[in-house]
Every structure is written in C-alpha cells, then in structure tokens.
Amino acid sequence: DLKLLEEKEPEKKDIWFPKHISDLDKCTHLITRFEPDLDYTHPVSVLTEGNFFLSQRSDFKAAFGFRVGQAIPRVEYTEEENATWAHVYRHLKDLFPTHACKEHIDVFKLLEMEGGFCEEKIPQLEDVSNFLKRKTGFQLRPVAGLLSARDFLASLAFRTFQCTQYVRHGAKPDHSPEPDCIHELLGHVPMLADPKFAQFAQELGLATLGVSDENIEKFATLFWFTVEFGLCKQNGELRAYGAGMLSSYGELQNSLSGAPTVKEFDPMVTAVQEYKDDDFQPILFVVESFEDMMTKMRQYVASIDREFDLSYDPYTQSVKILDHN
C-alpha cells in the first residue's frame, strides 16, 4: 500500500528550514489574506475586509520590512487602543493571583517593575524584547499576522517569538479573532521570560525543523494544548500557563471553573486531539510540572524518525545538522 509506505518514510533533509537566526527573514509566510508582496498602500477597507480589528497601517509596513538585528519600530498607539489594553489588563490582573501559574505571576511583577508594563499604555515591543533578552535570551520579531505553523514554530528554535504589533478593535475588547499584541504581551511574553518554559519552547521549535507537514500539524497541536492552552498543577491546585487563557478573562475563568474536561498531558494523545478556536476550549491538558512536560515532550520528539539530528549553537545562533544515516 503506497500510502502506508509514504507514512513510514523518515523525515528528509530536503525540506528547507532556517539554519541561522537571520534565515528567519525568510520565515514570514502569512496564512491570512495578507501577503508580504501585497500592496499595503491599498485602501484599508480592501485590506481589512473580514479583519475588522486591523487598524495600524504602519505596523504592517514595519513587520514586512523587518530584518533580524534591527530595532523594532515604535508605534504610536491611539487613545482607543490604549483604552482597549487598559480594559483587558485591569480585568485580567484581578484573576491572575487565583488563576495564573506561579511563573506568570512572578514575571508579571518584574514586567511592571522593569519591562515597561502598566495599565495606561501598550508597552513597546522593542522594550519588551530587550526585557526578554535579559531574562532568557528570547526576543520578539514583529509580524503582520497569522504565520504558517511551520514558520511560526521554526522561529522558536532560535529563541525568537513572532509577535503581532497591532491591537484588536475596541468594539470587542474581550475578543480577538487572531492573535494581537494584547494576547502576545499578557499571555506569551511572561511565560517566555521563565527559563524552564523558554527552554521548552525552544526545544519544541528545534523539533519541528525539517519535519513533514503531517508532523508539523502534530507539533502545532501540541503547541496549542501547551503554550496556548496548558494547565499545570501547583500546590495541589490547577493553574493556567497557556497564553490563550492568560490573555482572556473569559477563557481564564472558564478554564478553572470545572467546565472543561481536563486530561493528563500525554504527547502521543495530545498531538492528535481535535480542537477549535471559536469558543471556550472544552478539552484541556494538565502537566504535573514543567520538568514533567519537558521529559514527556523529549520522549515524543525522540520517537519521530528524522533522518538527522540537530544541535543549536547559542554562540552563533545557528543549528548544526548531525548526520546519523
């Protein structure tokens, strides 16, 4: 049976993937209707059809022209945008002490002391990126929208987080149909400033380099149920560490309400769990600890038949391919 044979093929070396951090300039494949070569001088009404939340024209230009190593251009957010941020920030801060994991709570305090976080204004990505670099070596890179899972995951291998810079529309402050900077800043950034979590995110990224589309989909699903919607156990209680929860009042409250079915994280099972993103998550996975999550993920990664091994060299910010036939 041809299909079965194909499925057993080990991962080949001929799928292109970034080898050096500067190769991330080529990992900008958007899966929205926005393409880098699209003329962004088109009237906003054309570009934003079905994307009502897109309001910052300048951010798109910044993201399209961005090259590794450049400073992230500063954005002048409107009063309305800052008000949207303040609304979300205020409400979530009430829930964090009882719902967020310890790591998120600890880093959030630091972000307010030294990372430029405050209720009144949306922090600038450049300042936040510099904060992250000091904590874990992660950095932000501006991106114009939803990227392909392959490109998005590959950037994690280089401790780079592709981060949107625009803000959801103020008419629906509690909901964003696609990631916006409120989601990235309140949900992802605090976790990426935690050393153990940063290590997990990078290893997940490294595991995806050069794998088949089928495996990319599995890793994207693992990403979904960990980085986006993961729960952990701390002091005998459930706590949220997933950015999709930590950046949404409704989702965060719902996640610990008893409503979702909570299953034990098991990469083999989790990787093929179906999910949707149009309502509160009905199924969540819980990890015993970040160490436990890492151990299980490493076992899963080892089970994937990639034709080569990789090692990451932090001095040169590049990956080396180690052949093992």
Instruction: Note the maximum CA span of the chain.
Output: 61
What tokens appear for 31 in the block? 């899966």
Which residue carries 């999709």 as its tokens? Answer: 244
Q: CA 137, 144, 88 angle in degrees (round to 5)?
A: 75
Residue 241: is it exposed, middle or buried by C-beta count within 10 angstroms (0-12/13-18/19+)? buried
Token digits of residue 250: 């409704």
Q: Phi and psi (nearest 5°) for 205?
A: -60, -45
Q: C-beta of 315: minimal distance to ligand HBI in Å?
A: 27
CB of 164 to ligand HBI, least distance (A): 6
Is residue 108 near ligand HBI by the rule CB under 6 A? no
Choose from Fe ion, ligand HBI, none: what does 143 bind? Cβ within 5-8 Å by kind.
ligand HBI
Residue 169: active-site member = no
Q: Is residue 162 part of the contact set for ligand HBI (CB under 6 A)?
A: yes
Q: Is 146 in the site for ligand HBI (CB under 6 A)?
A: yes
Minimum distance, C-beta of residue 228 to Fe ion, in the bound complex (Å): 5
Question: Is 168 within 8 Å of 180 (Cβ atoms)?
Answer: yes
Binding residues among 223-252 for ligand HBI as defined by CB under 6 A: 223-224
Least CB distance from residue 134 to Fe ion, whole Å? 22
The answer to whether the CB of 215 falls within 8 A of the CB of 15 is no
Q: Could you write out the DSSP letters of every residue in 53-102?
A: T---HHHHHHHHH--TTSPPPP----HHHHHHHHHHHHHHHHHHHHHB-H
177 contributes a contact to ligand HBI by CB under 6 A: no
x/- mask, Fe ion, residues 228-247, rule CB under 5 A, reads ---------------x----
Question: Which one of the spans 110-118, 131-139, 190-198, 216-224 is the region binding ligand HBI (CB under 6 A)?
Answer: 216-224
Minimum distance between the CB of residue 18 and ligand HBI, rounded to whole angstroms? 15
Of Fe ion, ligand HBI, none, which one sits near residue 220, judging by CB under 5 to 8 A according to partner kind? ligand HBI
How far CA 307 is from CA of 2, 11, 295, 296, 322, in Å, comes to 20, 5, 22, 21, 9
Catalytic residue, chosen from 99, 104, 169, 183, is: 183
Just list the catalytic residues: 183, 188, 228, 247
> Contact residues for ligand HBI (CB under 6 A)?
143, 146-147, 149, 152-153, 162, 164, 179, 220, 223-224
Contact positions toward Fe ion, by CB under 5 A?
179, 243
